[in-house]
Structure 1
Amino acid sequence: MRTLVLLFVVGLCVLDAASSLKICAFNVQSFGESKANNKKIMVILLKILSRCDVSLIQEVRDAKGAAVQALVKALNRFDKSNTYSSVESERLGRKSYKEQYVYVYRNNLLKVKDHYQYPKLEGAGANDSDVFSREPFIVRFHSPTTLVKDFVLIGQHTSPKTAMKEIDELYTVFRGVCKKWKTDNVMILGDLNAGCSYVSARGWRAVRLRSDPHFHWLIGDEQDTTVRERTRCSYDRIIAHGRHLVSGLVAGSARPFNFKEEFRLSEEEVTARTRFMVGFGPMDVNLCAFVWCILGPGGERSFPCRGGPEAQPPLPPPPRAVGAQHKPAASCVQS
């Protein structure tokens, strides 16, 4: 949703219980050169992104590529204890409006093994039959310090008008990843517009990612992924699949990080600063999510973060729409 800026983080348990790998998804909204050249904007972005080991940034509008280069350069200056790189998608969109997905990651912790852009339908009438407004961007990472050494991130920013169709089609994208890379340790993340008026109980029944119990919706329907007091919607999601990947996560670790509270901003300041930060004028910016692998609900370091699935609390079942029917489980060769 264009009125939302969201950061999600999920913790991957690592061999050293004193640290974790943080995976984020952040809708920065029309991030381009004007934002990259604005110091007030960059201070907020750098504070947020430097919390993460890998971040999926959405709504990047940077035709020349200068804004992303400036962001990565500034991040390396801001956080001298790590080194950052990026991998970018094609410029995506059906008409003149184009966006990119960009993964910014710490290259001292992660390596990009492979990546590809989900293909766009071409030819006469393609726009009418193509489900995605912005095709997913898929990256395979290698993480030598975590229990799960290799995992795949599927980044997606849906169109509000076709959100449910796009979410369902991500099942097909997942199957393609399984076939291509022979792994089912996959995480789908991003601004899916998966809440409030963009979804319905009836529509959820046809969404394969919901009916297959092997997909774990780490951000539930009841969670508010906005920081505005007048808004309560779960637009952005993280969906995990794969026995090894799921068992490497701390149960309930994906939760909102409210930058309004973190930066001690009033409601008025949030409206003014976030609009200014993302440059959307009539658009609102809302929230984020942030979680640490080793922190319990009260902040205590209670989760063991080692020892495999038997050491981890069980994940809650994925949310279901009333009357949803179970379909055959997704499966492919595991890595």
Structure 2
Amino acid sequence: MHPLALLLLGLRLAGAGFKICAFNAHGFGEAKSGDTWVMGALVQILVRCDIAAVQEVRDVKGDAMQALLRELNRYDPSHSYAQLGSRRLGRGTYKEQIVFLYRADLVTVTDWYQFGEAGDFARGPFAARFHVPSTAIKDFVLLSHHVSPRDAPHEIDQLHQVCQELSQRWGTQNMMVLGDLNAGGAYVPHNAWGSIRLRWDPRFHWLIGDGVNTTVRARTHCAYDRIVVQGDELLRAVVPGSAKPYNFARSLGLSEEEALQVSDHYPVEVNLYLAGQAPREL
């Protein structure tokens, strides 16, 4: 990449704050990592993020994620990209991972925790604690979970308990739940929301609204992918209006058919204020 282009990219990202993303990459594994065009699109999507929770990674050998990491570091040598992956998640033969990709020159992972699948979850949630000196908040937890569509209301509700356990474990309320919660469409009927503690507990703030579309297919309009913030301190560090899906099909000039080769989900993203920037008033 030309040095001037890298400089402009860095300035654009810096001006936008610190970007956190979640992306269901729809079966990312050997086939997609071997497709040069798909990998190019994935890199252009993920290079925008300082931390990205990549979901639905179907990478038995780990080679696909290593290839993606190499491409990110090659495309953007102004940063050093690293990864932290969950174990392979799932009760049966179907397994997938959640992988946090992050800029290691800006971000330090200070701890992580893997929840199990016993009882409440088809795939255990995965949490990591991050230290980011360049942001207004500096220390926070990201909890990523790919909710089973067959039991979405129950799993989303149980994430409330998971957050309380993490708050007690790590002594912080600064927590963000992000990823494909399947929190829309037929998976969560309107009358189910009242029983979901993560929704009605006032400590949790849903930044991606119910009317937002996070799906690529033209025939669907559902807010499956969400970002939920716990605690006022972290909420104050969020840049107002920055939480939204990233329509990579429009940005990269892709047809629906081309975009679906990358994923059937759009990433969701949010920006945090940088250190020294004024946090918003609640």
TM-score (norm 2): 0.90
Q: Deviations over 1:123-142 (max 9, x none)?
A: xxxxxxx1111110000000
Count, aligned residues: 270
Rounded to whole Å, the distance in 1 between the matches of 2:216 and 2:62 is: 30
Q: Which runs of 5+ in 1 are unaligned?
A: 1-15, 122-129, 279-284, 295-303, 315-335
1:205 match: secondary structure: helix
1:139 matches 2:128: yes
1:152 matches 2:149: no
Q: Deviations over 1:197-229 (max 9, x none)?
A: 111222111100111111000001111112333
> Which residue of 2 is the match for residue 181 of structure 1?
170
Q: Which runs of 4+ in 1 moved over 4 A?
A: 290-294
Per-residue deviation, 1:26:
0.3
1:276 matches 2:261: yes
Map 1:88-107 → 2, pairs under 5 A: 88-107=85-104
> Which residue of 2 is the match for residue 28 of structure 1?
25
Per-residue deviation, 1:105:
0.2
Q: Which runs of 5+ in 2 are unaligned?
A: 1-12
Q: Deviations over 1:75-109 (max 9, x none)?
A: 10011111100000011111100000000000011
1:253 matches 2:242: yes
2:54 match: secondary structure: strand
Q: Is the 8 A contact 2:237 2:272 kept in 1?
A: no
Please tell me the residue identity of whatever aligns with 2:96.
E
Rounded to whole Å, the distance in 2 between the matches of 1:292 and 1:207 is: 26
> Which residue of 2 is the match for residue 196 of structure 1?
185
Q: Deviations over 1:127-158 (max 9, x none)?
A: xxx11111100000000011101000000001
Q: Is the 8 A contact 1:226 1:288 kept in 2?
A: no
> Which residue of 2 is the match for residue 307 of structure 1?
278
Per-residue deviation, 1:35:
1.3
> Which residue of 1 is the match for residue 3 of structure 2?
none
2:147 match: secondary structure: coil
Per-residue deviation, 1:274:
3.2
Identity of aligned residues (%): 46
Q: Deviations over 1:3-61 (max 9, x none)?
A: xxxxxxxxxxxxx9835110000000111122112101100000000000000000101
One of 55, 60, 65 as aligned partner of 1:63: 60
Q: Is the 8 A contact 1:17 1:306 kept in 2?
A: no
Rounded to whole Å, the distance in 1 between the matches of 2:253 and 2:270 is: 18
> Which residue of 2 is the match for residue 222 of structure 1?
211
Q: Which has the higher strand share?
A: 2
Q: Which has the higher helix share?
A: 2
Rounded to whole Å, the distance in 2 between the matches of 1:55 and 1:235 is: 17
> Which residue of 1 is the match for residue 45 of structure 2?
48
Please tell me the residue identity of whatever aligns with 1:306.
Q
Superposed CA RMSD: 2.0
Q: Is the 8 A contact 1:112 1:140 kept in 2?
A: yes
Rounded to whole Å, the distance in 1 between the matches of 2:29 and 2:248 is: 22
Q: Is the 8 A contact 1:110 1:143 kept in 2?
A: yes
